[in-house]
Amino acid sequence: MQPFVFNTTARLICRPGAATELGALTGGILGADVLFVTDPGLRALGLERAAIASLENQGARVTVFDAVEADPSLSTLHAAIDMARAAGATGLVGFGGGSSMDVAKLAALLAGSGEDLEAAWGVGNAKGPRLPLVLVPTTAGTGSEATPVSIITVGENEKRGVSSPLLLPDVAVLDADLTLGLPAPITAATGIDAMVHAIEAYASKSANNNPLSAMLAREAMSLLGANIETVVLHEPGNRTARQAMLLGSMLAGMAFGNSPVAAVHALAYPIGGMFHIPHGLSNALVLPEVLKFNIAEEANQSWRRYAELAPLAFPDLNGEASPALAADFITGLADLSARLGLPQRLSDCGIGEEALPNMASEAMKQTRLLVNNPREVSEADALAIYRAAW
């Protein structure tokens, strides 16, 4: 066994209704002045009210920052940090999808440490300390509550990340009730996103690909595959299936937080950054073509990893691991995306063919991700994948 390091969230609470007891469940670790980071959509729905009330019932003063947008910008992050400092925040809550949690992570770090963000970009460069941090996901997709990564949009369309165990929260709360009203397209896209996390973690070329991540990725695929069609197509109010999706998303987050993702994410980032297409859908759009590209080079053995995942996601796909089974797995993922009602082509999302070369150039900037891909990806390869997905 090769040496590895495995970091994850210190405390996990997985129970429907848990967010309504957030103050008691977090045991005062957030202190007297809490910055509550969320987005305007959730605020309009009032989804955060019970969680905030529970914090206030424990004696906390809560300041709400609700300006987080999809693919949060650098200016949004700085606004959250400024509000944290102005409020004298002693702890932060990230409440929402991956965007809100990512902003809360970096705001807790930078408000707590005062360090320079420019020096913190990349892997292992953050110094800390950070303020106490609690994360509450409202989608079953990013797994951000269990990953040491925060992604921010810099400039017009560049995605830049900070990766450090310092960004892992003190507590994560998984409450299926928060996901019950999620529209079907968002439930579908975030669910596929979680599946991508498990797939890429399992096949990652990272030197830190490890038995724990592999085990978690496999269990995530089983949970997600068994429940995604239930919550999207058949029984959107099924709390048991919703809780299973949240757990699957978190397990996939644990997996890729230690065995990092690769080319699917690298090629998805320009789609989100340039065209403001949600991250989960961006991943879904390029997933089949990236996996086809990977297994076309049999020597890298990625086909074996995909074949091993096939019966976990799709029980009707069984038999010995083989390139043919891996190809069936890829077809199964594409068919699942179509059944869930997601757009299937880049052109379906209003992306013109003339944009593809620039997208390929932007994707090559994601070196921290591309290095983990089972097969090396050149700019010409990235362009060919985009064209196949267009």
How would you write 182-233 as a 3-class SS string? CCHHHHHHHHHHHHHHHHHHHHCCCCCCCHHHHHHHHHHHHHHHHHHHHHHH
CB 70 within 8 A of CB 123: no
Check whether 147 has a pLDDT greater than 80. Answer: yes
Which range has the worst mean pLDDT, 157-166, 263-272, 333-342? 157-166
Q: Is 110 helix (H, G, I), strand (E, B) or coil?
A: helix
Nearest one of 191, 179, 171, 198 to 253, comparing CA atoms: 198
Q: What is the pLDDT of residues 87-102, one digit of tens each?
A: 999 999 999 999 999 9
* 220-230 average pLDDT score: 98
Rounded mean pLDDT, 257-277? 95
User: Quick one: pLDDT band at residue 157, thresholds 50, 70, 90?
Assistant: confident
Residue 154 is predicted with a pLDDT of 92
315-323, long-range: CB < 8 A, 24+ apart: 315/225, 323/295, 323/298
Q: Of the candidates 176, 184, 196, which has an alpha carbon nearest to the alpha carbon of residue 246?
A: 176
Residue 3 — φ and ψ, nearest 5°? -60, 150
Over range 247-259, report the average pLDDT: 98
Calculate mean pLDDT across residues 367-389: 97
Residue 265 has pLDDT above 80, yes or no: yes
- Given a contact cutoff of 8 angstroms between Cβ atoms, the answer to whether 346 and 389 are in contact is yes
Q: Map out the domains of the chain with their CATH numbers.
A: 11-178 (3.40.50.1970), 182-389 (1.20.1090.10)
Question: Is pLDDT of 213 > 90?
Answer: yes
Residues 61/33, Cβ–Cβ less than 8 Å: yes
Question: In this structure, what token pair is assigned to residue 125?
Answer: 């460069």
How much is the average pLDDT of 297-302?
93
pLDDT tens-digit series, residues 90-143: 999 999 999 999 999 999 999 999 999 999 999 999 999 999 999 999 999 999
Mean pLDDT for the stretch of residues 339-362: 97
- Please name the residues in contact with 125: beta carbons below 8 A apart, sequence gap of 6 or more: 119, 162, 164
C-alpha–C-alpha distance, residues 36 and 222, integer Å: 33
Segment 162-166 shows an average pLDDT of: 97
Verdict on whether the full-model pTM lies above 0.75: yes
Number of H helices and E strands in the chain, helices first, is 16, 9
Tell me the average pLDDT of the chain.
Answer: 96
Average pLDDT, stretch 260-264? 97
Q: How does residue 158 score in pLDDT terms, banded at 50, 70 and 90?
A: confident
Say what the pLDDT of residue 27 is: 85
Q: Tell me the sheet residues that pair with 174.
A: 14
Can you tell me the distance from the alpha carbon of 142 to that of 172, in angstroms, rounded to the nearest whole number? 13
Q: Please say if the pLDDT value at position 156 is more than 90.
A: no
Q: Cβ distance 131 to 112 under 8 Å? A: yes
Q: What backbone torsions phi and psi does residue 317 show, to the nearest 5 degrees?
A: -95, 105
Residue 1 has pLDDT above 80, yes or no: no
Quick check: 387 pLDDT over 80?
yes
pLDDT score for 155: 84
Tell me the two tokens of residue 255.
Answer: 């997996």
